[in-house]
Chains A and B, each alone.
Chain A
Amino acid sequence: MTELYIGTTIFILSYIAIVSERIHKTIIAIVGASAMLLFKIIEQREAFFSEEFGIDYNVIFLLIGMMIIINIMKDTGVFEWIAIKSAKFAKGEPIRIMVTLSVVTAFLSAFLDNVTTVLLIAPVTLLICDALEIEPVPFLITEAIASNIGGTATLIGDPPNIMIASKAKLEFMDFIYNLAPVVIIIMVAYIFTVKWMFKKSLAVRPELKARIMEMKESEAITDHALTRKSLIVLTLTVVGFLFHSHLGFEPATIALSGAGLLLLVAGKEPHHILEKIEWTTLFFFMGLFIMVGGVVKVGIIKILAEQALNLTQGNMFATSMLVLWFSAFASAIIDNIPYVATMNPLIIDMAKGLWPNVTDPVALVHTPALMPVWWSLALGACLGGNGTLIGASANVVVAGMSEKAGKKITFMQFTKYGMPLMIESVIICTVYIWIRYYLL
C-alpha cells in the first residue's frame, strides 16, 4: 500500500513540475524515473526490459531513425525548394500562398516530425512575407496548426500516434485507414476557415508578387547528389512503413534501417549527424516511460480506469466521446506526450475490466469495441495541441521565430485562432467517429 502512495506522489509531483515549466521537463523525467527506481516502485530490470512497465524502445528507435533521416536531409535545401516552388505555384498571391504552404506543411508533417517541418518551412515563409511586405504572423500560425493536423494522419506523424501504435499494437495502415480520411476532411474545412478568416487583410501590389516569381528555387538545393540519395531513402522508408506488417517488421525496424542506409550512402561523418539527434527529447521519453511504468505497477491507473468505466457505464460511444473531448482540452494545456503515456495503460486497464475473459493481450487491445477509443485518443491528443500557444511544440517554435522577426505572437493571439479551429476539428471528429464506428 505504501508503494501505491509513494509511486503516485512521485508521479503527481513530476506532473506538476512538468506543467509549471520551472525546471526543464527532461530533468524532471530523469529525476522522477530515478526516484521510482530508488524507492523500488519499479525494479531496474522491469524499467529496462519489461514490455508492460518499461521503456518503450519501439518509440525511442522509431524517433531516432526518423531524426537521423531528417538531420541528413534538412541541409540539402530540398524543403526550401518545395516551399519556394509552392509560393510560385500560388502565383505570389498571399492567400493562395497561405493555403499551399499550409497543405505542404500538413503533408510533410504526416511523415516528418512537426517541429522539424515548421523549422524548415517557417524561414521561407518569413522570406516570402518580407518580399510581399506583409505581416508574417497569420502565415506562421496557420502553418503550425496545419502541421499539427497533418501529423495526426499517420503512425509516424506525431509522437502520441507512435506511442499509441506501440501499446495498442496498431500498424501504419491502420492509421491511414482510420485517421487519414478524417484528417483530410478537417484539412479541407480548415482551408475554408483560414480563407474566410484572412481574405480581407491580404492584398499586395503586383510588383511585389514579381519578387516571388523571380526567385529561382533550384538555387535552394545545396547538394544535388545528397538530395537524390535522401529522397530515394525517404521514399523507400515510407514504402517500408506502408508494408511493414506484410513484411513482418515493426515500424522502428523500418525507421532504423532507413537511417542506416542513408548514413551509409550520405558519406558524412556520423558524429555530426548523431550529435544533432534530439537527445533531450529522447531522454524525456525514457524517463517518462519509467515513471508511467511505476504508476501502472502500483495500480493507481487501474483505479482511475475503474472510475472512468463507472462514469460511462461501459457505453463505448460515451467512452470514445469522453476520451476525444477530454484529450483535446487536456492536450491544449499540457504536453500531449506525458498525457498519452498515462492514457495508454489506462485504456488497457479499462479493457481488462470490460472484457475479463480475454486473456491474450493483443486480442484484448484489438477488441473491435475498443478501436474507436484508440482513434479518439489519437485524434484528441494530436488535434488538441492546436488549442493554445503551449499546446504543441510546433506552436512554441513558430512563436519563437516570429518574436525573432520582431512580431511577438501572444498566448491570446494564438488562442484566438487556435481554439476555434481546434473545436471545429474535434466537432468534425465527433461526427466522423459517430457515423463511421457507431452508425454504420
Chain B
Amino acid sequence: MKAADIMTKEFDAVLPTATIKEAVGFLRCGKRGEEKKGVNALMVIDEKNKLVGMITMSHILKAIIPFYMEMAHLSEFAWDGLFERMCHKIENRLVSDFMERKVITVDSDANIFEISELMLKSRVRRLPVVEKDKVIGIVYRKELFFKIVETMLDKEGCR
C-alpha cells in the first residue's frame, strides 16, 4: 500500500500571491475529496505548479496575535476591538508572508510506515504527496485511521 493509493486526489491550493482573506475563504470552503466542507490547511502552489509552502489555521492565528503579546505573555491585557483590528490589518497581506516554507512531503511510492513515521516525527496531520516534483495529492492522518478501521473492524458503522 503506497501513498498514491491512500491519498486524496482532490484538493484546493492557493497561490503565494493570494491574500490572507482569500486563503481564509478556501479554508472555509476548501475541497476535502469530493466534498467542499472546509480544510485546516492549504498547500501553497505557485504558477509553475511548484509547492512553495503550506498555510494553516495556526499560521493565521499567529499572524493575528501581536508578536509582543506572545513574547511577554501580555494577552490578558488585550482590549475590545483589537481582534477585529488585527484581522483587518492582516487580511490583505500575502499568503507568502505567513506560510511555512519548509514543507514536509512524501513520495508517491512511500509505504504506510514511512508515512506514519513522518507524521509522528514532524507532528503534522497531513502530507503533500509528490511525484517528480509535482504535487499529485495529499494524505491526511484520518486516512491512516480509516485503514486501521478497515483492518481491525467489520464494515458496519457506529451503533
Interface residues in chain A, defined as those with a beta carbon under 8 Å from any beta carbon in chain B: 77, 80, 84, 120, 122-124, 126-127, 130-131, 211, 214-216, 219-220, 222, 401, 404-405
Cβ-based interface call for B79 (8 A): yes
CB distance from A85 to the nearest CB of B (A): 12
Chain B residues contacting A77 (CB-CB under 8 Å) are 73
Across the interface, do B79 and A123 meet the contact criterion of CB distance under 8 Å? no
Across the interface, do A122 and B77 meet the contact criterion of CB distance under 8 Å? no
The verdict on A124 contacting B74 (CB below 8 Å), with A130-B66, A404-B67 known, is yes
A123-B71, A215-B77 are known contacts; what are 16 more A-B pairs with Cβ within 8 Å? A80-B72, A123-B68, A124-B68, A124-B74, A127-B68, A127-B69, A127-B74, A127-B77, A131-B77, A131-B79, A214-B79, A219-B76, A220-B73, A220-B76, A222-B73, A401-B68
CB distance from B98 to the nearest CB of A (A): 13
Instruction: Pick 14 A–B contacts, CB within 8 A, sort by A.
Output: A84-B77, A122-B68, A123-B68, A123-B69, A123-B72, A124-B72, A126-B68, A127-B68, A127-B69, A211-B79, A220-B73, A220-B74, A222-B73, A405-B68
Select from chain A the residue with minimum beta-carbon distance to B76: A219
Select from chain A the residue with minimum beta-carbon distance to B74: A127
Report Cα–Cα, A176/B159, bound state, in Å: 79
From B67, B71, B76, B77, name the one whose CB has the most chain A CB atoms within 10 angstroms. B77
Select from chain B the residue with minimum beta-carbon distance to A126: B68
Report Cα–Cα, A106/B67, bound state, in Å: 24
CB distance from A370 to the nearest CB of B (A): 44
Report Cα–Cα, A404/B67, bound state, in Å: 8
From A80, A120, A123, name the one whose CB has the most chain B CB atoms within 10 angstroms. A123
Interface residues in chain B, defined as those with a beta carbon under 8 Å from any beta carbon in chain A: 66-69, 71-74, 76-77, 79, 82
Chain B residues contacting A211 (CB-CB under 8 Å) are 79
Give the interface SS of chain A, mostly helix, strand, loop or mixed. Answer: helix
Across the interface, do A127 and B66 meet the contact criterion of CB distance under 8 Å? yes
In the A-B complex, the 5 residue pairs with the closest CB atoms: A123-B72, A123-B68, A126-B68, A211-B79, A219-B76
Report Cα–Cα, A222/B73, bound state, in Å: 9
Report Cα–Cα, A84/B77, bound state, in Å: 10
Across the interface, do A120 and B68 meet the contact criterion of CB distance under 8 Å? no
Across the interface, do B79 and A120 meet the contact criterion of CB distance under 8 Å? no
Select from chain B the residue with minimum beta-carbon distance to A80: B72
Report Cα–Cα, A310/B74, bound state, in Å: 57
Report Cα–Cα, A401/B72, bound state, in Å: 12
CB distance from A226 to the nearest CB of B (A): 14
Select from chain A the residue with minimum beta-carbon distance to B72: A123
Across the interface, do A126 and B73 meet the contact criterion of CB distance under 8 Å? no
CB distance from B31 to the nearest CB of A (A): 34
Chain B residues contacting A216 (CB-CB under 8 Å) are 76
Report Cα–Cα, A216/B66, bound state, in Å: 19
Report Cα–Cα, A124/B71, bound state, in Å: 10
CB distance from B20 to the nearest CB of A (A): 15
Chain B residues contacting A219 (CB-CB under 8 Å) are 76-77
Report Cα–Cα, A401/B66, bound state, in Å: 12
Chain A residues contacting B69 (CB-CB under 8 Å) are 123, 127
Chain A residues contacting B72 (CB-CB under 8 Å) are 80, 120, 123-124
Chain A residues contacting B79 (CB-CB under 8 Å) are 131, 211, 214
From B68, B79, B82, name the one whose CB has the most chain A CB atoms within 10 angstroms. B68
Report Cα–Cα, A127/B79, bound state, in Å: 10
Select from chain B the residue with minimum beta-carbon distance to A75: B73
Select from chain A the residue with minimum beta-carbon distance to B79: A211
Report Cα–Cα, A124/B72, bound state, in Å: 8
CB distance from B70 to the nearest CB of A (A): 9
Chain B residues contacting A84 (CB-CB under 8 Å) are 77
Report Cα–Cα, A215/B69, bound state, in Å: 14
Report Cα–Cα, A183/B72, bound state, in Å: 29
Report Cα–Cα, A80/B69, bound state, in Å: 11
Chain A residues contacting B74 (CB-CB under 8 Å) are 80, 123-124, 127, 220
Chain A residues contacting B73 (CB-CB under 8 Å) are 77, 80, 220, 222
Chain A residues contacting B67 (CB-CB under 8 Å) are 404-405
Chain B residues contacting A127 (CB-CB under 8 Å) are 66, 68-69, 74, 77
Select from chain A the residue with minimum beta-carbon distance to B82: A130
CB distance from B157 to the nearest CB of A (A): 47
Report Cα–Cα, A123/B67, bound state, in Å: 8
CB distance from B73 to the nearest CB of A (A): 6
CB distance from B92 to the nearest CB of A (A): 13
Select from chain B the residue with minimum beta-carbon distance to A131: B79
Report Cα–Cα, A126/B74, bound state, in Å: 10
Chain B residues contacting A131 (CB-CB under 8 Å) are 77, 79
Chain A residues contacting B68 (CB-CB under 8 Å) are 122-124, 126-127, 401, 405
CB distance from A371 to the nearest CB of B (A): 41
Chain B residues contacting A122 (CB-CB under 8 Å) are 68
CB distance from A398 to the nearest CB of B (A): 12
Select from chain A the residue with minimum beta-carbon distance to B81: A211
Across the interface, do B76 and A126 meet the contact criterion of CB distance under 8 Å? no
From A77, A120, A130, A216, name the one whose CB has the most chain B CB atoms within 10 angstroms. A130
Report Cα–Cα, A122/B76, bound state, in Å: 17
Select from chain A the residue with minimum beta-carbon distance to B67: A404
CB distance from A84 to the nearest CB of B (A): 7
Chain B residues contacting A401 (CB-CB under 8 Å) are 68
CB distance from A350 to the nearest CB of B (A): 45
Report Cα–Cα, A405/B66, bound state, in Å: 8
Chain B residues contacting A126 (CB-CB under 8 Å) are 66, 68
Report Cα–Cα, A216/B69, bound state, in Å: 15
